[in-house]
């Protein structure tokens, strides 16, 4: 039996890896990412905004210094950093009815951030906000977005409930022209793009999905008019006489299920692949403690510490100390004793695999400890490496299956067979329900153009989709050659820090504000990365070790394009030396003041 050398209990590594492969193979399907339905035509109502009424307004036909597309963390952080530098003429364009991005849309019961608020919430120090809990709930994050908007005076010029229809570079004027679905037709010297990775809801392509005569909605458009209750955790009293099905057991469902289990007469949790659900251990933040630690520069120290604890180097202390840092801590402890000549990529991958096997074995054991029904406990075990799917952390999800009236409907990896007028069918059995809630996630593997709803047109009419035909090409994940004065705020080809996405965004926002400020002060009309610098950056990225996330060995999901990684996915990587090293690098690149590889003219 192959075992992990340093474990007290032996783990049959070969048997587990064989089980991982068997479970993955069971889930592979010929239609891959095509299995999902786009919310258009007869399904368009699933994407409508239930939260804010659309207000009529006059179209804008003016000019702004900086237009930012997307009113989530990226737009807010970039807007704030620009304003701090005296660039006040900033307009944010947002398809939702207010700021917040993902936190505007995701108001399902129990919605909460899995990354510690001290590092997740941007601009805490600037706004003076103290998070109320280690892992805050969604309404607090949404409120914080609005706080940033107010503090930096970003509301007045913002355009809500507005979708971009076209974004075109006008070479003769060195500016961008922006047209929207509200008749706006205005120009901007600079444009930021922060449309986020997970914002277009999708439905599973289950036969009969349109036949259901009961009520249904997607989790990112929660209908509290139907369920009763509210996003603050008010009980969903209208469900007390309802049979409810929730399709999907990803990070959203894991948080919503405990609330539905309390509220519904009967709850059917339909599972295709179980999530790994580790301990949450949430706790309130003590204002006295916060006052002591929140000295000048505290959030940067916490951000740097959390990121350091996600890396392979030495980390003195672990301020956040949670499930995210635990896995890397285990990995580090396995490689620390390797002699320098044994520090190979292969050995590092092996150490990572062993740390992961140990961790996942513990997580699987937790289901046996928590879930009383032995069959349900077995079905709730996740058989894949922890980062193959989004890791989940919760202290009431598994416990929900001990509540009478809550039923796990495991589909053995096959998904729902059919939706009927009265309910759903799994393994030939029809379950009658009043309501079906789709916790089926968001589009990822579809084209960027489809997800954004427009295709930026750069110099000489070149579109972004043409420029990235073979895969993404940028420098720092921020600039693309042929698209002057256009800046991307996102993680890929930069730090690519997955465990704390906003860290990528706030650093990107700062970099952009520094460059725009430099352009304005020096009178440069155009800021553009050279082709050589972009090629050199992409070549550097490809020297890295690649990623576990997105591997074909993983169980299917949006991380690996449903088991068929796209050829261009090899470009969806970060700085080879890791996120911590990237942040040091970009800081030095900015401080040097010569912006190597980017031309100002």
Q: Which is nearer to ligand NDP, 286 or 412 (CB)?
A: 412
The rounded distance, in Å, linking the Cα atoms of 158 and 60 is: 11
Which residue from 33, 78, 227, 253 is in contact with ligand NDP, where contact means CB under 6 A? 253
**109 contacts ligand NDP (rule: CB under 6 A):** no
Site string for ligand NDP, 309-348 (x = CB under 6 A): ----------------------------------------
Contact window for ligand NDP (CB under 6 A) among 18-26, 296-304, 440-448, 546-554: 440-448
Q: Give the one residue of 247, 257, 409, 554 binding ligand NDP; rule: CB under 6 A.
A: 247
Residues in the chain: 601
For 437, phi and psi rounded to 5 degrees? -105, 125
462 near ligand NDP (CB under 6 A): no
Contact between 249 and ligand NDP per CB under 6 A: yes
Q: According to the binding rule CB under 6 A, does residue 72 interact with ligand NDP? A: no
Determine the Cα–Cα distance for residues 541 and 2; give it in Å rounded to an integer: 35
d(CA 107, CA 99): 14
Residues 6+ apart with CB under 8 A from 285: 117, 118, 130, 131, 132, 133, 134
Is residue 366 a contact partner of residue 279, using CB atoms and an 8 Å limit? yes
For residue 467, CA distances in Å to 210, 313, 485, 486 come to: 38, 36, 16, 14
Q: Does 248 bind ligand NDP (CB under 6 A)?
A: yes
In three-state secondary structure terms, 379 is helix
Work out whether 572 is an interface residue with ligand NDP (CB under 6 A). no
Nearer to ligand NDP, 236 or 270 (CB): 270
Among the residue ranges 160-168, 439-447, 452-460, 508-516, the one whose residues contact ligand NDP (CB under 6 A): 439-447
Q: Does 251 bind ligand NDP (CB under 6 A)?
A: yes
Closer Cβ to ligand NDP, 93 or 267, answer by number: 267
Which three-class secondary structure state does DSSP give residue 488? strand
Among 557, 565, 574, 597, which residue interacts with ligand NDP (rule: CB under 6 A)? Answer: 557
User: Is 273 among the residues that bind ligand NDP (CB under 6 A)?
Assistant: yes
Task: Provide the pairing of β-strand 202-204 with 90-93.
Answer: unpaired
> How many residues of this chain interact with ligand NDP, rule: CB under 6 A?
26
- Asked whether position 558 contacts ligand NDP by CB under 6 A, the answer is yes
Residue 498 token pair: 């997955």
Interface map 196-215 toward ligand NDP (x if CB under 6 A): --x-----x-x---------
- With binding defined as CB under 6 A, does residue 445 bind ligand NDP? no
Positions in 160-189 near ligand NDP (CB under 6 A): none
- Rounded to a whole number of angstroms, the CA Rg of the chain reads 24
Beta 423-426 vs 429-432: how paired, if at all? antiparallel
Q: How far is the CB of 326 from ligand NDP (least distance, A)?
A: 17
Answer for which of 276, 309, 328, 440 binds ligand NDP (CB under 6 A) is 440
| Phi, psi (degrees; rounded to nearest 5) at 170 | -105, 100
Alpha carbon distance 5, 143 (integer Å): 49
* Closer residue to ligand NDP (CB): 439 or 452: 439
C-alpha–C-alpha distance, residues 392 and 365, integer Å: 15
What b/e sequence results for 552-570 when a residue is b if at least 16 CB atoms lie within 10 Å of its CB, and e otherwise? eebbbbbbbbbbebeeebb
Measured from the CB of residue 194, what is the shortest distance to ligand NDP in angstroms?
17
Q: Are 131 and 118 in contact (CB under 8 A)?
A: yes
Q: Which residues bind ligand NDP (CB under 6 A)?
A: 112-114, 198, 204, 206, 247-253, 255, 270, 272-273, 390, 415-416, 439-442, 557-558
């Amino acid at each position: 039996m192959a075992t992990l050398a340093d474990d007290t209990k032996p783990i049959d590594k070969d048997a587990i890896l064989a089980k991982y492969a068997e479970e993955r193979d069971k889930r592979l399907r010929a239609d891959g990412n095509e299995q999902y339905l786009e919310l258009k035509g007869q399904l368009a109502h699933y994407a409508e905004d239930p939260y804010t009424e659309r207000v009529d307004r006059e179209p804008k036909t003016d000019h702004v210094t900086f237009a930012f597309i997307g009113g989530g963390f990226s737009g807010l952080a970039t807007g704030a950093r620009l304003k701090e530098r005296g660039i006040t003429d900033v307009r944010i364009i947002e398809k939702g009815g207010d700021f917040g991005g993902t936190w505007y849309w995701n108001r399902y019961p129990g919605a909460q951030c899995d990354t510690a608020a001290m590092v997740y919430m941007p601009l805490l120090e600037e706004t003076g906000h103290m998070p109320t809990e280690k892992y805050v709930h969604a309404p607090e994050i949404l409120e914080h977005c609005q706080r940033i908007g107010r503090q930096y005076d970003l509301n007045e010029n913002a355009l809500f409930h507005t979708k971009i229809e076209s974004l075109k570079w006008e070479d003769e004027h060195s500016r961008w022209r922006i047209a929207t679905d509200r008749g706006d037709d205005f120009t901007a010297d600079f444009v930021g793009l922060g449309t986020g990775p997970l914002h277009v809801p999708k439905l599973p392509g289950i036969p009969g999905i349109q036949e259901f005569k009961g009520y249904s909605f997607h989790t990112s458009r929660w209908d509290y008019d139907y369920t009763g209750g509210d996003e603050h955790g008010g009980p969903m009293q209208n469900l007390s006489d309802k049979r409810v099905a929730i399709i999907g057991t990803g990070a959203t469902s894991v948080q919503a299920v405990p609330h539905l289990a309390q509220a519904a007469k009967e709850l059917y949790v339909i599972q295709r692949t179980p999530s790994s659900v580790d301990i949450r251990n949430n706790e309130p933040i003590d204002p006295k403690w916060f006052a002591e630690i929140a000295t000048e520069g505290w959030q940067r120290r916490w951000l740097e510490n959390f990121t350091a604890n996600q890396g392979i180097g030495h980390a003195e202390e672990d301020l956040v100390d949670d499930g995210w840092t635990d896995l890397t801590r285990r990995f580090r402890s396995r490689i620390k004793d390797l002699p320098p000549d044994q520090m190979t990529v292969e050995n590092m991958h092996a150490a990572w695999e062993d740390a992961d096997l140990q961790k996942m074995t513990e997580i699987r054991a937790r289901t046996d400890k928590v879930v009383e029904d032995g069959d349900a406990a077995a079905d709730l075990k996740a058989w894949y490496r922890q980062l193959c799917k989004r890791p989940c952390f919760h202290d009431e999800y598994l416990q929900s299956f001990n509540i009478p009236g809550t039923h796990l409907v495991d589909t053995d990896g096959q998904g729902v067979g059919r939706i009927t007028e009265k309910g759903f069918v799994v393994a030939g059995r029809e379950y009658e329900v009043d309501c079906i809630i789709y916790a089926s996630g968001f589009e990822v593997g579809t084209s960027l153009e489809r997800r954004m709803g427009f295709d930026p047109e750069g110099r000489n009419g070149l579109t972004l989709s043409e420029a990235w035909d073979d895969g993404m090409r940028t420098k720092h994940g921020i600039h693309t050659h042929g698209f002057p004065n256009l800046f991307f705020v996102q993680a890929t080809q930069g730090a690519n820090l997955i465990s704390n996405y906003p860290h990528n965004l706030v650093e990107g926002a700062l970099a952009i504000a520094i460059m725009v400020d430099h352009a304005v002060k020096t009178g440069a009309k155009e800021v553009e990365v050279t082709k050589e610098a972009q090629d050199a950056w992409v070549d550097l990225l490809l020297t890295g070790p690649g990623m576990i996330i997105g591997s074909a060995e993983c169980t299917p999901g949006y991380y690996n394009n449903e088991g068929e990684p796209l050829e261009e996915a090899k470009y969806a990587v970060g700085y080879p030396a890791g996120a911590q090293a990237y942040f040091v690098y970009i800081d030095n690149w900015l401080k040097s003041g010569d912006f190597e590889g980017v031309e100002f003219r």
